[in-house]
Amino acid sequence: MKIQSQILTGLLKIFLMVASTISLLACEPVSVGTWQISMEIENANQNSMWTITSEPTLIISTNSELQVDELELAGSRINWSTDARNIPSLGLSDRISFNGTVNGSELAGTLFTQQGNYTVTGIRQPDTNL
């Protein structure tokens, strides 16, 4: 009887571990949503909207729209890189990359460029699909 109890306890632990792993994988990354972004580049504020989906996809909207293909969402972290010439409003060239984190409705990180590194902040916009 004691062996059966140990086997059942072991199976229950395995089941709970698998169930919690599956539920975590099904969770949407915390960065998903629309963000009002501000970055200070060359002593001027550059504003844009970032739309992040769970696929993951990032669309940066300034005077035009750019889809960033090199995007990684992991928990509260967001990382991406692209050719800066795709975003002419930034006035940068070469490759740029971004590393940041999300804390609730706030996004913060650093944009890394050949010309220097720039602070990026963002506020999540309300979901209009409600």
Give residue 77's pLDDT band: very low, low, confident or very high (50, 70, 90).
Answer: very high
Please name the helix (run of DSSP H) or strand (run of DSSP E) that holds residue 15, with its range, or none: helix 2-26
| 91-108: average pLDDT | 89
**CA–CA dist 84, 82 (Å, integer):** 6
Give residue 32's pLDDT band: very low, low, confident or very high (50, 70, 90).
Answer: very high
Give residues with Cβ within 8 angstroms of 65, minimum separation 6. Answer: 59
All structural domains of the chain with their residue ranges: 33-124
Give residues with Cβ within 8 angstroms of 74, minimum separation 6. Answer: 29
pLDDT of residue 19: 52
Q: Is the pTM value of this prediction over 0.85? A: no
pLDDT of residue 9: 78
CATH for the stretch 33-124: 2.40.128.20
